[in-house]
Amino acid sequence: MFKLDNKIAVITGGGSGIGKAISILFGLQGATVCIIDINDESEMVVEHIRHTSGKAFFYKCNISSQEEVKNIVQEIIQQHAAIDILVNNAGVAHVGTAENTSAEDFERLINVNIKGVYNCLHEVLPFMKQKGGNILNMASVAALVGLNDRFAYSATKGAVIAMTLSVAKDFLAYNIRCNSISPGRVHTPFVDGFLAKNYPGKEAEMFDKLSKTQPIGRMGKPEEIAQLALYLCSEEASFITGCDYPIDGGFVKLNT
């Protein structure tokens, strides 16, 4: 079950955190993994996949640039002839309210979290229409409940869920499924960096405090998010489209 043999999977932001876990798992399950990322560290993920499971390729790209995305997608098509799976995982975060979020930061989040997803959809869908495919967008619980100091981030992730529904509706006739995942707090390098920057000397204390905001009592693991991504992109999920899946240790439903 959940095999991705002979599937070409494009994963944005596949070099770290959740994207890295998805890339490695998809490679283990037989997919040819095409990582689109702005960071060169993705090369190490590609080498790991090649040494442990199968085929992987790295394409350096700023997803907020439609021209760059267009060129990379064309390169992937030339090399692999198709794109069967698109995981729009790349994104950036920001801490702030509507009052203290700068115009520059707000625009940065829109360019990556919204325009970046649009750019990938816009360039991949014409090829995916030829034989169908699966699209998975990474949203967040920040789109589902009110969170302190997450104004811009919440706005962009709300847009991701809306785009998911729209794509699912518009491309049903082409055998294209589109779903999204809304993780709660997940222990990634971003969390460690955030704590080190904002709570120097109190990292362990704040990590414990943040962990306990999930009713289940801990943060999620990137690998746990990857398992859900694998299911939604597999043939076993062929009856699922237009859905958002919170994976949050009970945060949305059990905290309200």
pLDDT digits (tens, 9 = 90+) for 6-29: 999 999 999 999 999 999 999 999
The string of pLDDT tens digits covering residues 168-184 is 999 999 999 999 999 99
Encoding tokens for residue 250?
């009970």
Q: Which residues contact 176 (CB under 8 A, 6 or more apart)?
A: 125, 128, 129, 132, 133, 134, 135, 167
Q: Average the pLDDT over 31-35 and give the result.
A: 98
Q: How far apart are CA 135 and CA 117, in angstroms?
A: 11
Q: Give this prediction's pTM.
A: 0.96
- Which domains are assigned to the chain? 8-254 (3.40.50.720)
> Taking the alpha carbons of 173, 23, 196, 64 in that order, is the dihedral positive or negative?
negative
From 118, 153, 231, 245, active-site residue: 153
Q: Average the pLDDT over 48-58 and give the result.
A: 94
Is 245 part of the annotated catalytic residue set? no
